[in-house]
Amino acid sequence: MVERTSEKKDVPVIWTVHDVAEYLRMSEAKVYRLVKEQRIPVVRIGKTWRFRKDLLDEWLSQCTESSMKSDGK
């Protein structure tokens, strides 16, 4: 996957479903399922879904933390 960067530092990196699936190492169908279940941060622009990498990283970090807490009951 090619890291898409912006010329401006403040502008977040925006990914497609394909990019997210590759980043999270899961199928595109699974990404769509997470979107449908409202379990992943996403924005709909027209007919397409777009994901901000910074929000995905934050979401992933939160999922990891909650998973670690539930494992250590």
Predicted confidence at residue 7, as pLDDT, reads 56
Predicted confidence at residue 64, as pLDDT, reads 87
- Per run of 10 residues, the mean pLDDT along the chain (length 73 residues) is 60 92 97 97 96 96 85 65
Q: Which two tokens stand for residue 19?
A: 């990019």
- Domain annotation covers residue 2: no
Predicted confidence at residue 66, as pLDDT, reads 82
- Domain annotation covers residue 25: yes
pTM exceeds 0.85: no
Q: Which domain holds residue 48?
A: 14-71
For residue 65, give Cα distances in angstroms to 24, 29, 38, 62, 70. Answer: 17, 25, 19, 5, 9
How many domains, in total, are found in the chain? 1
- Domain annotation covers residue 37: yes
- Domain annotation covers residue 4: no
- Domain annotation covers residue 65: yes
- Domain annotation covers residue 23: yes
- Domain annotation covers residue 55: yes
- Domain annotation covers residue 9: no
